[in-house]
Structure 1
Protein backbone atom coordinates (compact mmCIF):
# COMPACT_ATOMS: atom_id res chain seq x y z
CA UNK A 1 0.00 0.00 0.00
CA UNK A 2 1.31 3.44 -1.03
CA UNK A 3 0.29 6.42 1.12
CA UNK A 4 0.56 9.92 -0.42
CA UNK A 5 -0.33 13.16 1.35
CA UNK A 6 -1.41 15.77 -1.22
CA UNK A 7 -1.66 19.47 -0.35
CA UNK A 8 -1.68 22.59 -2.48
CA UNK A 9 -1.76 26.40 -2.54
CA UNK A 10 -0.64 27.43 0.97
CA UNK A 11 -0.05 30.98 -0.34
CA UNK A 12 2.30 32.32 2.31
CA UNK A 13 1.73 36.05 2.35
CA UNK A 14 -2.00 35.26 2.65
CA UNK A 15 -1.86 32.17 4.87
CA UNK A 16 -3.55 31.61 8.22
CA UNK A 17 -0.72 30.58 10.58
CA UNK A 18 -3.08 28.78 12.97
CA UNK A 19 -4.49 26.64 10.13
CA UNK A 20 -0.96 25.94 8.84
CA UNK A 21 0.10 24.79 12.32
CA UNK A 22 -2.96 22.52 12.64
CA UNK A 23 -2.17 20.99 9.27
CA UNK A 24 1.44 20.25 10.21
CA UNK A 25 0.27 18.45 13.34
CA UNK A 26 -2.21 16.36 11.33
CA UNK A 27 0.37 15.63 8.63
CA UNK A 28 2.82 14.25 11.18
CA UNK A 29 0.08 11.99 12.59
CA UNK A 30 -0.72 10.61 9.12
CA UNK A 31 2.95 9.68 8.46
CA UNK A 32 2.68 9.28 4.66
CA UNK A 33 5.17 7.51 2.41
CA UNK A 34 5.40 10.70 0.32
CA UNK A 35 4.19 14.29 0.76
CA UNK A 36 3.37 16.25 -2.43
CA UNK A 37 2.82 20.02 -2.52
CA UNK A 38 1.43 21.05 -5.91
CA UNK A 39 2.40 24.70 -6.14
CA UNK A 40 1.53 28.27 -5.13
CA UNK A 41 3.65 28.30 -2.02
CA UNK A 42 3.50 32.12 -1.92
CA UNK A 43 1.38 35.07 -3.01
CA UNK A 44 3.93 37.16 -4.91
CA UNK A 45 7.25 35.29 -4.61
CA UNK A 46 8.51 37.91 -2.17
CA UNK A 47 11.62 36.75 -0.34
CA UNK A 48 9.95 36.89 3.06
CA UNK A 49 7.08 34.78 1.71
CA UNK A 50 9.48 32.23 0.27
CA UNK A 51 11.39 32.02 3.56
CA UNK A 52 8.12 31.50 5.45
CA UNK A 53 7.11 28.83 2.92
CA UNK A 54 10.48 27.09 3.33
CA UNK A 55 9.96 26.91 7.10
CA UNK A 56 6.59 25.25 6.47
CA UNK A 57 7.95 22.84 3.85
CA UNK A 58 10.84 21.77 6.08
CA UNK A 59 8.28 20.59 8.66
CA UNK A 60 6.34 18.45 6.17
CA UNK A 61 6.79 14.68 6.47
CA UNK A 62 9.66 13.30 4.39
CA UNK A 63 10.21 12.35 1.65
CA UNK A 64 8.48 15.19 -0.15
CA UNK A 65 8.07 16.53 -3.66
CA UNK A 66 7.36 20.25 -4.22
CA UNK A 67 6.68 22.13 -7.46
CA UNK A 68 6.09 25.85 -8.09
CA UNK A 69 2.82 27.50 -9.09
CA UNK A 70 2.01 30.68 -10.98
CA UNK A 71 2.07 32.73 -7.74
CA UNK A 72 5.68 31.66 -7.16
CA UNK A 73 6.72 33.98 -10.01
CA UNK A 74 7.23 37.69 -9.15
CA UNK A 75 4.31 39.92 -10.08
CA UNK A 76 4.34 42.64 -12.72
CA UNK A 77 5.52 45.23 -10.18
CA UNK A 78 8.87 43.46 -10.72
CA UNK A 79 8.77 43.18 -14.53
CA UNK A 80 12.46 42.46 -15.13
CA UNK A 81 12.53 39.51 -12.75
CA UNK A 82 9.21 38.20 -14.00
CA UNK A 83 10.20 38.26 -17.65
CA UNK A 84 13.91 37.34 -17.49
CA UNK A 85 14.41 35.27 -14.33
CA UNK A 86 10.91 34.24 -13.19
CA UNK A 87 12.00 31.34 -10.98
CA UNK A 88 15.28 32.72 -9.64
CA UNK A 89 13.91 33.49 -6.17
CA UNK A 90 12.09 30.15 -5.96
CA UNK A 91 15.26 28.29 -6.96
CA UNK A 92 17.34 30.14 -4.38
CA UNK A 93 15.07 28.77 -1.66
CA UNK A 94 13.86 25.40 -2.98
CA UNK A 95 16.59 24.33 -5.39
CA UNK A 96 17.17 24.45 -9.11
CA UNK A 97 14.84 21.64 -10.15
CA UNK A 98 11.37 22.87 -11.17
CA UNK A 99 10.19 19.42 -12.30
CA UNK A 100 11.40 17.03 -9.60
CA UNK A 101 10.94 13.28 -9.66
CA UNK A 102 10.62 10.73 -6.87
CA UNK A 103 11.16 7.01 -7.26
CA UNK A 104 10.68 4.38 -4.58
CA UNK A 105 9.86 0.66 -4.77
CA UNK A 106 6.56 0.42 -6.64
CA UNK A 107 6.18 4.20 -7.04
CA UNK A 108 7.30 6.63 -9.75
CA UNK A 109 6.36 10.34 -9.45
CA UNK A 110 7.11 12.98 -12.11
CA UNK A 111 6.67 16.73 -11.64
CA UNK A 112 5.68 19.09 -14.47
CA UNK A 113 5.97 22.89 -14.41
CA UNK A 114 2.74 24.31 -15.89
CA UNK A 115 3.42 27.88 -14.67
CA UNK A 116 4.78 30.42 -17.13
CA UNK A 117 5.90 34.03 -16.66
CA UNK A 118 3.88 35.24 -19.64
CA UNK A 119 1.77 33.86 -22.46
CA UNK A 120 -0.56 34.62 -25.36
CA UNK A 121 -3.54 35.30 -23.05
CA UNK A 122 -3.99 38.46 -21.00
CA UNK A 123 -4.44 36.16 -18.00
CA UNK A 124 -0.90 34.98 -17.31
CA UNK A 125 -2.06 32.84 -14.41
CA UNK A 126 -3.31 30.25 -16.90
CA UNK A 127 -1.50 26.92 -16.97
CA UNK A 128 0.43 25.89 -20.07
CA UNK A 129 2.67 22.92 -20.85
CA UNK A 130 5.29 23.54 -23.52
CA UNK A 131 6.44 20.86 -25.99
CA UNK A 132 9.61 20.65 -23.89
CA UNK A 133 7.57 20.03 -20.71
CA UNK A 134 5.70 17.22 -22.46
CA UNK A 135 8.84 15.72 -24.02
CA UNK A 136 10.65 15.67 -20.70
CA UNK A 137 7.70 14.06 -18.91
CA UNK A 138 7.43 11.45 -21.68
CA UNK A 139 11.09 10.58 -21.21
CA UNK A 140 10.83 10.40 -17.43
CA UNK A 141 7.65 8.31 -17.45
CA UNK A 142 9.31 5.76 -19.68
CA UNK A 143 11.23 4.34 -16.72
CA UNK A 144 10.11 2.29 -13.70
CA UNK A 145 7.97 -0.36 -15.46
CA UNK A 146 5.26 -1.84 -13.28
CA UNK A 147 5.29 1.06 -10.80
CA UNK A 148 2.29 3.11 -9.69
CA UNK A 149 2.73 6.24 -11.82
CA UNK A 150 1.95 9.75 -10.65
CA UNK A 151 2.09 13.13 -12.42
CA UNK A 152 2.21 16.38 -10.43
CA UNK A 153 1.43 19.81 -11.90
CA UNK A 154 -0.06 22.97 -10.48
CA UNK A 155 -2.89 23.70 -12.91
CA UNK A 156 -6.06 21.55 -12.98
CA UNK A 157 -7.39 19.20 -15.63
CA UNK A 158 -11.05 19.43 -14.63
CA UNK A 159 -13.25 22.49 -14.18
CA UNK A 160 -15.92 21.78 -11.55
CA UNK A 161 -19.50 22.41 -12.62
CA UNK A 162 -20.23 26.14 -12.78
CA UNK A 163 -16.53 27.04 -12.68
CA UNK A 164 -15.57 29.41 -15.52
CA UNK A 165 -11.77 29.38 -15.22
CA UNK A 166 -9.68 27.49 -17.76
CA UNK A 167 -7.94 24.18 -17.24
CA UNK A 168 -4.34 23.46 -18.20
CA UNK A 169 -3.40 23.66 -21.89
CA UNK A 170 -2.93 21.80 -24.19
CA UNK A 171 -5.19 19.29 -22.45
CA UNK A 172 -5.37 16.85 -25.41
CA UNK A 173 -1.58 16.48 -25.42
CA UNK A 174 -1.50 15.94 -21.66
CA UNK A 175 -4.25 13.31 -21.85
CA UNK A 176 -2.35 11.57 -24.64
CA UNK A 177 0.73 11.49 -22.41
CA UNK A 178 -1.30 10.10 -19.50
CA UNK A 179 -2.88 7.42 -21.67
CA UNK A 180 0.31 6.36 -23.45
CA UNK A 181 2.13 5.84 -20.14
CA UNK A 182 -0.91 4.59 -18.21
CA UNK A 183 -0.50 7.20 -15.51
CA UNK A 184 -2.52 6.18 -12.46
CA UNK A 185 -2.80 9.46 -10.53
CA UNK A 186 -2.53 13.17 -11.35
CA UNK A 187 -2.10 15.68 -8.49
CA UNK A 188 -2.84 19.39 -8.95
CA UNK A 189 -4.44 22.46 -7.35
CA UNK A 190 -4.86 26.13 -8.38
CA UNK A 191 -8.67 26.48 -8.16
CA UNK A 192 -8.76 26.24 -4.32
CA UNK A 193 -11.58 23.73 -4.83
CA UNK A 194 -11.40 20.01 -4.13
CA UNK A 195 -12.35 17.77 -7.04
CA UNK A 196 -11.79 14.05 -7.61
CA UNK A 197 -12.61 12.05 -10.72
CA UNK A 198 -11.17 9.62 -13.25
CA UNK A 199 -10.54 11.44 -16.53
CA UNK A 200 -9.67 10.44 -20.07
CA UNK A 201 -11.01 10.29 -23.63
CA UNK A 202 -13.67 7.75 -24.59
CA UNK A 203 -12.37 4.20 -25.03
CA UNK A 204 -8.96 5.15 -23.69
CA UNK A 205 -6.98 5.04 -20.45
CA UNK A 206 -8.36 7.08 -17.54
CA UNK A 207 -6.25 8.34 -14.65
CA UNK A 208 -7.51 9.56 -11.29
CA UNK A 209 -7.25 13.32 -10.78
CA UNK A 210 -6.79 14.70 -7.26
CA UNK A 211 -7.37 18.47 -7.32
CA UNK A 212 -6.81 19.76 -3.80
CA UNK A 213 -8.21 22.85 -2.11
CA UNK A 214 -5.91 25.39 -0.50
CA UNK A 215 -4.35 23.92 2.62
CA UNK A 216 -4.04 27.09 4.72
CA UNK A 217 -4.69 30.23 2.64
CA UNK A 218 -7.32 32.80 3.57
CA UNK A 219 -8.20 33.09 -0.15
CA UNK A 220 -11.12 30.63 -0.09
CA UNK A 221 -13.27 29.76 -3.09
CA UNK A 222 -16.49 28.51 -1.56
CA UNK A 223 -15.06 25.76 0.64
CA UNK A 224 -12.79 25.57 3.68
CA UNK A 225 -9.10 24.74 3.68
CA UNK A 226 -8.33 21.08 3.08
CA UNK A 227 -6.06 18.38 1.69
CA UNK A 228 -6.20 14.80 0.41
CA UNK A 229 -4.78 11.60 1.88
CA UNK A 230 -4.33 8.94 -0.80
CA UNK A 231 -3.92 5.19 -0.27
CA UNK A 232 -3.27 3.10 -3.35
CA UNK A 233 -2.22 -0.29 -4.61
CA UNK A 234 -2.22 -1.80 -8.10
CA UNK A 235 -6.02 -2.20 -8.31
CA UNK A 236 -7.55 0.26 -5.86
CA UNK A 237 -7.26 3.94 -4.87
CA UNK A 238 -8.87 5.46 -1.80
CA UNK A 239 -8.73 9.24 -1.31
CA UNK A 240 -9.79 10.77 1.99
CA UNK A 241 -10.72 14.43 1.76
CA UNK A 242 -9.86 16.39 4.90
CA UNK A 243 -11.42 19.79 5.60
CA UNK A 244 -10.73 22.37 8.29
CA UNK A 245 -13.74 22.68 10.63
CA UNK A 246 -12.56 25.80 12.45
CA UNK A 247 -10.53 23.87 14.99
CA UNK A 248 -8.87 20.95 13.23
CA UNK A 249 -8.64 18.97 10.01
CA UNK A 250 -11.14 16.12 9.92
CA UNK A 251 -12.17 13.58 7.27
CA UNK A 252 -15.09 14.81 5.19
CA UNK A 253 -15.58 12.07 2.55
CA UNK A 254 -13.72 9.06 1.18
CA UNK A 255 -13.57 8.46 -2.57
CA UNK A 256 -12.82 5.05 -4.08
CA UNK A 257 -11.56 4.10 -7.54
CA UNK A 258 -10.96 0.67 -9.09
CA UNK A 259 -8.66 -0.24 -11.97
CA UNK A 260 -10.06 -1.87 -15.09
CA UNK A 261 -9.05 -2.54 -18.68
CA UNK A 262 -9.40 1.15 -19.61
CA UNK A 263 -7.78 2.50 -16.47
CA UNK A 264 -9.47 3.83 -13.39
CA UNK A 265 -13.16 4.35 -12.72
CA UNK A 266 -15.40 5.18 -9.79
CA UNK A 267 -15.89 2.28 -7.40
CA UNK A 268 -18.82 3.80 -5.52
CA UNK A 269 -21.59 6.37 -5.86
CA UNK A 270 -19.41 9.30 -4.75
CA UNK A 271 -16.92 9.00 -7.61
CA UNK A 272 -17.34 9.09 -11.34
CA UNK A 273 -15.58 8.60 -14.60
CA UNK A 274 -15.47 11.71 -16.79
CA UNK A 275 -14.96 11.71 -20.52
CA UNK A 276 -12.57 14.58 -21.15
CA UNK A 277 -14.03 17.65 -22.78
CA UNK A 278 -11.14 18.67 -24.97
CA UNK A 279 -12.81 20.52 -27.84
Structure 2
Protein backbone atom coordinates (compact mmCIF):
# COMPACT_ATOMS: atom_id res chain seq x y z
CA UNK A 1 0.00 0.00 0.00
CA UNK A 2 1.19 3.51 -0.86
CA UNK A 3 0.13 6.26 1.54
CA UNK A 4 0.29 9.95 0.66
CA UNK A 5 -0.35 12.83 3.03
CA UNK A 6 -1.94 15.74 1.14
CA UNK A 7 -1.62 19.00 3.07
CA UNK A 8 -2.31 22.58 2.08
CA UNK A 9 -2.66 26.18 3.21
CA UNK A 10 -0.40 26.08 6.26
CA UNK A 11 0.06 29.86 6.03
CA UNK A 12 3.23 30.36 8.09
CA UNK A 13 2.62 33.76 9.61
CA UNK A 14 -0.94 32.71 10.47
CA UNK A 15 -0.21 29.05 11.17
CA UNK A 16 -1.82 27.00 13.92
CA UNK A 17 1.15 25.68 15.97
CA UNK A 18 -0.94 22.90 17.48
CA UNK A 19 -2.10 21.73 14.03
CA UNK A 20 1.45 21.81 12.65
CA UNK A 21 2.76 19.81 15.60
CA UNK A 22 -0.08 17.30 15.18
CA UNK A 23 0.70 16.83 11.48
CA UNK A 24 4.42 16.41 12.19
CA UNK A 25 3.62 13.79 14.81
CA UNK A 26 1.42 11.89 12.35
CA UNK A 27 4.17 11.92 9.71
CA UNK A 28 6.75 10.68 12.23
CA UNK A 29 4.46 7.95 13.55
CA UNK A 30 2.89 6.77 10.28
CA UNK A 31 5.73 7.43 7.81
CA UNK A 32 3.79 8.17 4.60
CA UNK A 33 5.57 7.57 1.30
CA UNK A 34 5.40 11.27 0.44
CA UNK A 35 3.83 14.60 1.40
CA UNK A 36 2.08 16.65 -1.27
CA UNK A 37 1.81 20.31 -0.25
CA UNK A 38 -0.59 22.18 -2.53
CA UNK A 39 0.34 25.75 -1.82
CA UNK A 40 0.04 28.71 0.51
CA UNK A 41 2.98 27.64 2.63
CA UNK A 42 3.20 31.28 3.73
CA UNK A 43 0.80 34.07 4.60
CA UNK A 44 2.60 37.09 3.10
CA UNK A 45 5.53 35.55 1.20
CA UNK A 46 8.17 36.99 3.56
CA UNK A 47 11.69 35.55 3.86
CA UNK A 48 11.03 34.57 7.47
CA UNK A 49 7.82 32.72 6.57
CA UNK A 50 9.53 30.82 3.76
CA UNK A 51 12.44 29.97 6.05
CA UNK A 52 10.17 28.60 8.77
CA UNK A 53 7.99 26.79 6.26
CA UNK A 54 10.97 25.25 4.52
CA UNK A 55 12.52 24.16 7.81
CA UNK A 56 9.25 22.47 8.77
CA UNK A 57 8.89 20.62 5.47
CA UNK A 58 12.49 19.39 5.62
CA UNK A 59 11.99 18.25 9.20
CA UNK A 60 9.29 15.80 8.08
CA UNK A 61 11.94 13.46 6.69
CA UNK A 62 9.91 12.19 3.72
CA UNK A 63 9.81 13.22 0.02
CA UNK A 64 7.90 16.49 -0.42
CA UNK A 65 6.57 18.27 -3.48
CA UNK A 66 5.36 21.85 -3.07
CA UNK A 67 3.05 23.94 -5.22
CA UNK A 68 3.03 27.74 -5.18
CA UNK A 69 -0.13 29.32 -3.77
CA UNK A 70 -1.48 32.82 -4.21
CA UNK A 71 -0.21 33.78 -0.73
CA UNK A 72 3.30 32.65 -1.75
CA UNK A 73 3.57 35.58 -4.19
CA UNK A 74 4.23 39.10 -2.79
CA UNK A 75 1.02 41.03 -2.19
CA UNK A 76 -0.44 43.94 -4.13
CA UNK A 77 1.31 46.54 -1.94
CA UNK A 78 4.65 45.30 -3.31
CA UNK A 79 3.77 45.46 -7.03
CA UNK A 80 7.35 45.67 -8.34
CA UNK A 81 8.42 42.49 -6.57
CA UNK A 82 5.14 40.75 -7.44
CA UNK A 83 5.52 41.40 -11.17
CA UNK A 84 9.28 41.28 -11.70
CA UNK A 85 10.69 39.13 -8.88
CA UNK A 86 7.83 37.05 -7.43
CA UNK A 87 10.01 34.00 -6.69
CA UNK A 88 13.04 35.79 -5.22
CA UNK A 89 12.32 34.59 -1.68
CA UNK A 90 11.85 30.91 -2.53
CA UNK A 91 15.50 29.92 -1.98
CA UNK A 92 14.80 27.85 1.13
CA UNK A 93 12.14 25.74 -0.62
CA UNK A 94 13.28 25.95 -4.25
CA UNK A 95 14.16 22.26 -4.60
CA UNK A 96 10.68 21.23 -3.43
CA UNK A 97 8.68 23.50 -5.75
CA UNK A 98 6.85 21.69 -8.55
CA UNK A 99 8.93 18.60 -7.90
CA UNK A 100 7.69 15.64 -9.93
CA UNK A 101 7.46 12.56 -7.70
CA UNK A 102 7.64 9.00 -8.99
CA UNK A 103 6.47 6.45 -6.44
CA UNK A 104 5.59 2.77 -6.95
CA UNK A 105 2.46 2.81 -9.11
CA UNK A 106 1.82 6.57 -8.95
CA UNK A 107 3.31 9.76 -10.45
CA UNK A 108 2.70 13.28 -9.08
CA UNK A 109 2.61 15.95 -11.80
CA UNK A 110 2.69 19.69 -10.89
CA UNK A 111 0.31 22.24 -12.43
CA UNK A 112 0.78 25.96 -11.74
CA UNK A 113 -2.49 27.82 -11.13
CA UNK A 114 -1.22 31.13 -9.72
CA UNK A 115 -0.64 34.34 -11.68
CA UNK A 116 1.38 37.48 -11.01
CA UNK A 117 -1.42 39.61 -12.46
CA UNK A 118 -4.86 39.06 -14.00
CA UNK A 119 -7.51 41.08 -15.83
CA UNK A 120 -9.79 41.08 -12.77
CA UNK A 121 -9.71 42.62 -9.34
CA UNK A 122 -9.20 39.48 -7.28
CA UNK A 123 -5.78 38.07 -8.18
CA UNK A 124 -6.06 35.42 -5.46
CA UNK A 125 -8.27 33.32 -7.73
CA UNK A 126 -6.86 30.62 -9.97
CA UNK A 127 -5.68 30.67 -13.56
CA UNK A 128 -4.29 27.89 -15.74
CA UNK A 129 -2.10 29.35 -18.46
CA UNK A 130 -1.55 27.61 -21.78
CA UNK A 131 2.11 27.13 -20.87
CA UNK A 132 1.36 25.58 -17.47
CA UNK A 133 -1.12 23.15 -18.97
CA UNK A 134 1.26 22.28 -21.80
CA UNK A 135 4.04 21.43 -19.33
CA UNK A 136 1.74 19.24 -17.24
CA UNK A 137 0.47 17.39 -20.31
CA UNK A 138 4.04 16.83 -21.50
CA UNK A 139 4.92 15.27 -18.14
CA UNK A 140 1.83 13.05 -18.24
CA UNK A 141 2.81 11.87 -21.70
CA UNK A 142 6.07 10.51 -20.26
CA UNK A 143 4.37 8.49 -17.49
CA UNK A 144 4.67 4.72 -18.08
CA UNK A 145 1.36 2.91 -18.80
CA UNK A 146 -0.53 1.46 -15.87
CA UNK A 147 0.42 4.10 -13.30
CA UNK A 148 -1.91 6.38 -11.41
CA UNK A 149 -1.43 10.05 -12.32
CA UNK A 150 -2.14 12.68 -9.67
CA UNK A 151 -1.91 16.34 -10.73
CA UNK A 152 -0.99 18.75 -7.90
CA UNK A 153 -2.25 22.34 -8.12
CA UNK A 154 -3.10 25.08 -5.63
CA UNK A 155 -6.55 26.07 -6.90
CA UNK A 156 -9.39 23.62 -7.58
CA UNK A 157 -9.92 23.59 -11.33
CA UNK A 158 -13.69 23.59 -10.84
CA UNK A 159 -15.71 24.32 -7.71
CA UNK A 160 -16.05 21.48 -5.21
CA UNK A 161 -19.12 22.72 -3.33
CA UNK A 162 -17.15 24.39 -0.55
CA UNK A 163 -17.73 27.77 1.12
CA UNK A 164 -14.53 29.14 -0.40
CA UNK A 165 -14.21 29.44 -4.18
CA UNK A 166 -11.37 29.29 -6.67
CA UNK A 167 -13.07 30.61 -9.83
CA UNK A 168 -10.13 29.23 -11.78
CA UNK A 169 -9.93 30.67 -15.28
CA UNK A 170 -9.47 27.98 -17.94
CA UNK A 171 -9.75 25.42 -15.14
CA UNK A 172 -12.72 23.62 -16.69
CA UNK A 173 -11.05 23.13 -20.05
CA UNK A 174 -7.79 22.18 -18.30
CA UNK A 175 -9.62 19.49 -16.34
CA UNK A 176 -10.97 18.04 -19.59
CA UNK A 177 -7.51 18.05 -21.18
CA UNK A 178 -5.96 16.38 -18.13
CA UNK A 179 -8.67 13.71 -18.09
CA UNK A 180 -8.14 13.02 -21.78
CA UNK A 181 -4.39 12.71 -21.14
CA UNK A 182 -4.99 10.08 -18.47
CA UNK A 183 -4.95 11.95 -15.13
CA UNK A 184 -6.82 10.15 -12.37
CA UNK A 185 -7.07 12.98 -9.83
CA UNK A 186 -6.29 16.67 -9.34
CA UNK A 187 -5.15 17.54 -5.81
CA UNK A 188 -5.60 21.12 -4.61
CA UNK A 189 -6.06 23.44 -1.63
CA UNK A 190 -7.04 27.13 -1.41
CA UNK A 191 -10.60 26.69 -0.09
CA UNK A 192 -9.50 25.41 3.38
CA UNK A 193 -12.05 22.57 3.49
CA UNK A 194 -11.63 18.94 2.37
CA UNK A 195 -13.61 17.47 -0.51
CA UNK A 196 -13.43 14.65 -3.04
CA UNK A 197 -15.64 15.00 -6.12
CA UNK A 198 -15.61 12.49 -8.99
CA UNK A 199 -16.19 14.30 -12.30
CA UNK A 200 -16.92 12.64 -15.64
CA UNK A 201 -15.01 13.99 -18.63
CA UNK A 202 -14.89 12.41 -22.08
CA UNK A 203 -16.15 9.09 -20.69
CA UNK A 204 -13.53 9.02 -17.91
CA UNK A 205 -13.75 9.79 -14.20
CA UNK A 206 -11.21 12.24 -12.78
CA UNK A 207 -11.30 13.04 -9.07
CA UNK A 208 -11.12 16.58 -7.71
CA UNK A 209 -9.54 16.26 -4.25
CA UNK A 210 -9.15 19.24 -1.92
CA UNK A 211 -7.26 19.41 1.38
CA UNK A 212 -8.12 21.48 4.44
CA UNK A 213 -5.83 23.91 6.27
CA UNK A 214 -3.33 23.74 9.15
CA UNK A 215 -3.68 27.47 9.76
CA UNK A 216 -5.88 29.52 12.04
CA UNK A 217 -7.90 30.56 8.98
CA UNK A 218 -10.38 27.67 9.20
CA UNK A 219 -13.79 27.75 7.53
CA UNK A 220 -16.31 24.91 7.76
CA UNK A 221 -13.94 22.27 9.17
CA UNK A 222 -11.23 22.12 11.83
CA UNK A 223 -7.55 21.89 10.85
CA UNK A 224 -7.17 18.91 8.52
CA UNK A 225 -5.11 17.07 5.93
CA UNK A 226 -5.92 14.24 3.54
CA UNK A 227 -4.57 10.72 3.65
CA UNK A 228 -4.66 9.01 0.25
CA UNK A 229 -4.34 5.24 0.31
CA UNK A 230 -3.39 3.43 -2.88
CA UNK A 231 -3.78 -0.33 -3.22
CA UNK A 232 -3.58 -2.30 -6.49
CA UNK A 233 -4.23 0.75 -8.65
CA UNK A 234 -7.25 1.92 -6.62
CA UNK A 235 -7.29 4.74 -4.11
CA UNK A 236 -9.40 6.32 -1.41
CA UNK A 237 -9.25 9.70 0.31
CA UNK A 238 -9.57 10.05 4.07
CA UNK A 239 -9.93 13.49 5.62
CA UNK A 240 -7.93 13.56 8.85
CA UNK A 241 -8.88 16.32 11.28
CA UNK A 242 -7.47 17.34 14.65
CA UNK A 243 -10.68 15.95 16.15
CA UNK A 244 -9.13 12.50 15.76
CA UNK A 245 -7.15 13.24 18.90
CA UNK A 246 -10.46 13.02 20.80
CA UNK A 247 -11.24 9.64 19.24
CA UNK A 248 -14.38 10.77 17.43
CA UNK A 249 -15.39 8.45 14.58
CA UNK A 250 -16.01 11.32 12.16
CA UNK A 251 -12.39 12.39 12.39
CA UNK A 252 -11.12 9.64 10.05
CA UNK A 253 -13.93 8.96 7.59
CA UNK A 254 -13.37 8.28 3.89
CA UNK A 255 -14.80 11.20 1.92
CA UNK A 256 -14.77 9.26 -1.33
CA UNK A 257 -13.47 5.98 -2.66
CA UNK A 258 -12.38 4.75 -6.10
CA UNK A 259 -15.21 2.41 -7.04
CA UNK A 260 -16.74 1.22 -10.29
CA UNK A 261 -19.46 3.83 -9.95
CA UNK A 262 -18.05 6.74 -7.90
CA UNK A 263 -20.59 8.66 -5.88
CA UNK A 264 -20.44 12.43 -5.94
CA UNK A 265 -19.95 13.87 -2.47
CA UNK A 266 -19.16 17.59 -2.79
CA UNK A 267 -17.73 19.12 0.37
CA UNK A 268 -18.13 15.99 2.47
CA UNK A 269 -16.58 17.46 5.59
CA UNK A 270 -15.39 15.37 8.51
Query: Fold match, TM over 0.5?
Result: yes
Q: Counterparts of 2:244 and 2:253 in 1: how far apart (Å)?
A: 17
- The aligned counterpart of 1:240 is 238
CA contact 1:155–1:188 (8 Å) conserved in 2: yes
1:169-248 pair list within 5 angstroms: 169-201=169-201, 204-214=203-213, 216-245=214-243
CA contact (8 A) 1:156 1:188 kept: yes
Determine if contact 2:44/2:73 at 8 Å carries over to the other structure. yes
Once structures 1 and 2 are overlaid, which stretch shifts more, 146-155 or 168-177? Answer: 168-177
Give deviations 1:127-157, integer Å, cap 9, x for gaps: 1011000111111000122211110000013
Q: Output one character per residue of 1:61-105: Cα deviation in whole Å (capped at 9) or x when no partner.
A: 411111110100011222211011112212x12116743211133
User: What are the superposed Cα offsets for residues 242-274 of structure 1, whole Å, 9 maximum, x if unpaired?
Assistant: 1112957973311342354xxxx42xxxx4278
Structure 1: distance between partners of 2:40 and 2:29: 24
What SS class does the counterpart of residue 204 from structure 2 fall into?
A: coil
Which region of structure 1 is more displaced relative to structure 2, 13-22 or 156-165?
156-165
Name the SS for the 2:238 alignment partner: strand
**Which moved further from structure 2: 80-89 or 54-63?**
54-63
Matched ranges for 1:71-220 at <5 A? 71-90=71-90, 92-95=91-94, 98-144=97-143, 145-161=145-161, 163=163, 165-201=165-201, 204-214=203-213, 216-220=214-218
Q: 4+ residue stretches of structure 1 with deviation over 4 A?
A: 246-250
Native 8 Å contact 2:196 2:256 kept in 1 = no
Structure 2 CA distance for partners of 1:196 and 1:99, relative to 1, 3 Å: same
Secondary structure of the corresponding residue to residue 137 of structure 1: helix
Residues matched between the structures, number? 263
**Structure 1: how far apart are the matches of 2:244 and 2:15?**
15
Q: Which runs of 5+ in 2 are unaligned?
A: none
TM-score of the superposed pair, with normalisation by structure 1: 0.86
Q: Residue 253 of structure 1 corresponds to which residue in structure 2?
A: 253
Q: Is the 8 A contact 1:243 1:249 kept in 2?
A: no
